[in-house]
């Protein structure tokens, strides 16, 4: 900064112009006297076709004070643009398990990904040159350079690095579908009791006796979230109970689409219970679209109408405790369920019953007692067994691995099978 501030502006302009001209100059051919860097340029696998990969063996002169500069151009003799500059002791293939895996021995090769140049708005053949410099700033000296190499980026139809994810997803889905199929033949399935769901009747009955409404919230997110859908599924069962008990259900919503879906679900539940006349669409309404406006408005409803039972089911954020504590202060029986781990402790403390994580998603199957749905819970359990087995075996293998002189590649492979990219 001090040097820059002391520099004459005219000199700075001249220097900048020289540097700009140098950057626009055609790619110089590799100086024969310099050692050659043997760079491979190829299409980056498993991408959308807008990048190429460069790799080259580590050089003898790689050291802390050296740096690689990668430049690209649209043609072999076109103007170059510097796109990457990094320390010569960094960026190796071993840093990219996404492409090179964990298990295979990796030769000490540098690896970089470069965005392809565009021609007519489409990624096109990209020409690259890699130069190794020693020293810093103006004293940097070019000590090795690559010839000009090129690659054409191609879009891919499968992200190979997600293969482990696909296998696990297929395996889990297979378990679930198998148990669903099995449940149709043998519908007698044991599911442990979930106190929160068993208490729904108690809560609705209490509200009916007290002549007070039941408040139901579907959470912070819109219907495109699975947790909200799980909540709406439970709402169908709660609404049916409310209709049977001839009580009153209030559903303030944060999202318009969720409101419409809830109206439809509650209407259908009332019809199924033989009480279509008791359905009032005005009780399922949009209250506010912002987080704390919604919280304040729902708190207002709780304080004014004093519901006898509050249901908080879905994903909740910072508003969870404000809602649950306000509900507790009005003396309502409270049943909550959420998949947000940060809010679970708050709900456990402030509510009478709390569905933790997966229990929220299992609730509709539990309440309906439909064999096919219960079968999916059994499938989930099989998936859990798989994960537990993997954890156990993995722990044993990793422990054994620590005792061995060198790390076994097979064990490495197993250890990293569950790594997500």
Partner 1 sequence: VTFWKRQLPGILVFVVGILLVVQYYIPHPWSSEVLGESNRWVRIIQNAALLLGVASLVGNHYRKIARKQAGFGYSYIALFFFLAMVVFGFATGISAPREIRETVTIPAGIATGGGEVPTDVDVESGFALSLMPALGKPLPNVTLRGKVDGGQTVALSDDTPVQLDATGKLILVVPPNTSGEPVTVGLFLKEDQSIGYWMFDTFKVSMEASMYSLLAFFISSAAFRAFRARSIDATIMLIAAIIMMIGRVSFGEMISRIFSKSWLFFPKACEWMLNVPVTAAKRAIFIGIALSVIALSIRIIFGLERSYLGRGE
| Residue 301 CB, nearest approach to partner 1 (Å) | 9
| Residue 52 CB, nearest approach to partner 1 (Å) | 15
Q: Would you tell me how many other CB atoms lie within 10 Å of the CB of residue 161?
A: 19
Nearest C-alpha neighbor of 57 from the set 37, 43, 34, 72: 37
| Residue 76 CB, nearest approach to partner 1 (Å) | 27
Which one, 135 or 357, has the nearer CB to partner 1? 357
Which one, 115 or 268, has the nearer CB to partner 1? 268
CA distances to 122, 176, 380 from 387, rounded to whole Å, are 43, 14, 11
| Residue 105 CB, nearest approach to partner 1 (Å) | 27
Helix, strand, coil proportions of the chain in percent (round to 5)? Answer: 50, 20, 30
CA distances to 101, 138, 179, 323, 326 from 317, rounded to whole Å, are 37, 53, 34, 11, 16
Nearest C-alpha neighbor of 129 from the set 223, 41, 43, 65: 41
Residue partners of 227: CB distance under 8 A and separation at least 6: 219, 221, 314, 315, 338, 339, 360, 361
Which one, 202 or 305, has the nearer CB to partner 1? 305
Helix H or strand E encompassing 197: helix 195-210
Which one, 88 or 269, has the nearer CB to partner 1? 269
Which one, 8 or 405, has the nearer CB to partner 1? 8
Contact 188, 282 (CB under 8 A): no
Which one, 62 or 339, has the nearer CB to partner 1? 339
Rg value, the chain, Cα? 32
Which one, 66 or 194, has the nearer CB to partner 1? 194
| Residue 281 CB, nearest approach to partner 1 (Å) | 9
| Residue 403 CB, nearest approach to partner 1 (Å) | 23
Residue partners of 255: CB distance under 8 A and separation at least 6: 221, 222, 223, 286, 289
| Residue 357 CB, nearest approach to partner 1 (Å) | 4
| Residue 180 CB, nearest approach to partner 1 (Å) | 7
Alpha helices in 87-190 (DSSP H): 97-100, 163-185
Which one, 87 or 329, has the nearer CB to partner 1? 329
Contact 419, 102 (CB under 8 A): yes
């Amino acid at each position: 900064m001090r040097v820059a501030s002391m520099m004459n502006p005219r000199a700075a302009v001249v220097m900048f112009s020289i540097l700009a001209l140098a950057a626009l100059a055609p790619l110089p051919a590799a100086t024969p006297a310099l050692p050659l860097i043997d760079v491979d340029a190829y299409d980056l696998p498993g991408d959308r076709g807008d990048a190429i990969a460069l790799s080259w063996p580590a050089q003898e002169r790689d050291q802390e004070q050296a740096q690689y500069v990668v430049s690209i151009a649209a043609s072999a003799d076109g103007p170059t643009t510097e796109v990457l500059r990094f320390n010569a002791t960094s960026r190796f293939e071993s840093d990219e398990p996404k492409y090179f895996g964990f298990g295979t021995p990796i030769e000490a090769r540098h690896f970089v990904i470069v965005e392809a140049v565009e021609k007519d708005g489409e990624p096109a053949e990209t020409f690259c040159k890699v130069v190794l410099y020693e020293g810093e700033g103006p004293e940097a000296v070019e000590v090795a350079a690559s010839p000009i190499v090129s690659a054409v980026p191609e879009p891919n139809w499968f992200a190979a690095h997600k293969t482990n994810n696909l296998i696990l997803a297929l395996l889990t889905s297979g378990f679930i579908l198998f148990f669903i199929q099995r449940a149709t033949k043998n519908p007698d399935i044991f599911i442990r009791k979930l106190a929160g769901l068993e208490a729904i009747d108690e809560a609705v009955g209490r509200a009916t006796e007290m002549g007070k409404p039941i408040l139901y919230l579907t959470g912070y997110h819109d219907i495109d979230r699975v947790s909200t859908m799980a909540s709406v599924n439970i709402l169908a069962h709660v609404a049916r109970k409310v209709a049977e008990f001839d009580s009153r259900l209030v559903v303030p919503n944060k999202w318009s689409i969720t409101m419409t879906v809830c109206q439809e679900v509650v209407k259908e539940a009332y019809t199924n219970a033989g009480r279509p006349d008791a359905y009032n669409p005005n009780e399922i309404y949009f209250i506010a679209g912002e987080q704390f406006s919604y919280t304040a408005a729902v708190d207002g409803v709780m304080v004014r109408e004093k519901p006898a039972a509050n249901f908080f089911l879905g994903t909740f954020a910072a508003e969870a405790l404000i809602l649950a504590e306000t509900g507790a202060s009005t003396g309502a029986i409270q049943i909550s369920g959420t998949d947000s781990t940060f809010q679970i402790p708050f709900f456990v403390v402030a509510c009478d019953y709390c569905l933790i994580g997966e229990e929220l998603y299992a609730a509709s199957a539990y309440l309906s007692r439909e064999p096919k749905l219960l079968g999916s819970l059994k499938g989930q359990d099989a998936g859990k067994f798989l994960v537990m087995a993997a954890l156990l075996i993995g722990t044993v293998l990793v422990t054994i691995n620590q005792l061995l002189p060198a790390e076994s590649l097979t064990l490495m492979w197993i250890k990293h099978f569950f790594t997500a990219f």
